[in-house]
Amino acid sequence: MNSRNAFVELEEEQDSFPEIFELNIVSGGCHLYGYLLTPDRRIPGPYPTIIMSHGFPGYTTNNDLELAFMRMGCVVIHMNHRGAWGSEGKYLFTNLKHDLIAIAKWAHNAAIADQYNIDINNIFLVGHSMGGQTVLNAAKDLPFIKGVAAMASYDIGAAFRYNMEKDLFLMIETEGQCLKMESASEVYENALINQQELSVLNRFEELLKHNVLLVEAYYDIVAPPDKMLRPLAKKLEEGKGNITYEVIKSNHSFVGQRMRLTRTVGEWMEQTLNNTKKA
């Protein structure tokens, strides 16, 4: 993996094209739809692999990051959660972690790894906003993950702790109209009942076993970092965890700082891999 290639395209040769494959992975009895990117085959494998988790509901796409990671020499997996963007099932916050665990175990399977040249020892989870919450929670139950990166991470537990529940409901009711759900009230009740389990602070000790990157959007008003990201960073630092904390002066979507965000995550992954080789 070479993070300097994030914005460098190799001259294409027919036998070495990067490729995209459609995916259909089952989670909770429902089919999740997405795609997998493989890098230029002149880059030697097996490849570090990144599993992306989208936010709520996923209007802010991370396709630019995914293609950059592919150019760096990574396999990239993009899946849509249950009830989102064509995937089967109902959208519920409690399903998100289980979807991601199912996807990660699929990628870690020896037969799948052989098919796509995945390095099962170097699988990363990367998520934005609600996807940040998802990757942090899923990593707690995936000991084989090399690292987890959460960008402008949301925290449902913090939303209730800091009386932001009205904002959460409004987000579900308005932005969530594209999702498959019985009602906004059902999704909100799912958050209310399971707020402690969904909080990124729940079982934070499990994250001490992982390499963790937290990226703060300094001007974020959707997921205020002083309420949703910094408390986790403080706990991981106090626990002597292997944590990297970066601040980017942008809003929740990093809309004006996407290249810097790409470099931040890519360089962290490259450093994590290099540290492993040295150990």
The H-or-E segment that residue 28 falls in is: none
Tell me, yes or no, whether 189 lies in a domain: yes
User: Do the beta carbons of residue 75 and residue 48 sit within 8 Å?
Assistant: yes
Mean pLDDT by 10 residues, the chain (279 residues): 81 81 95 95 93 85 92 94 90 95 97 96 96 96 96 96 94 88 93 95 94 97 96 96 96 94 95 81
Tell me, yes or no, whether 279 lies in a domain: no
- Please state, in angstroms and rounded to a whole number, the distance separating the CA atoms of residues 273 and 147: 10
Tell me, yes or no, whether 124 lies in a domain: yes
CA atoms 14, 18, 22, 23: torsion sign: positive
pLDDT on residue 36: 97
Instruction: Name, in order, each residue with C-beta under 8 angstroms of 103's C-beta and a sequence gap of 6 or more.
Output: 25, 27, 32, 51, 77, 79
For residue range 93-135, list pLDDT tens digits in order: 999 999 999 999 999 999 999 999 999 999 999 999 999 999 9
Tell me, yes or no, whether 213 lies in a domain: yes
DSSP string across 71-105: HHT-EEEEEPPTTSTT-SS---HHHHHHHHHHHHH
- Residue 82, domain CATH: 3.40.50.1820
Tell me, yes or no, whether 216 lies in a domain: yes
In three-state secondary structure terms, 31 is: strand
Nearest C-alpha neighbor of 74 from the set 52, 54, 50:
50
Boundaries of domain holding 50: 3-274
Tell me, yes or no, whether 64 lies in a domain: yes
Query: What pTM was estimated for this model as a whole?
Result: 0.93
Looking at the 3D structure of the chain, how many domains does it have? 1
Tell me, yes or no, whether 104 lies in a domain: yes
Q: Which amino acid is it at 229? A: L
pLDDT on residue 279: 59
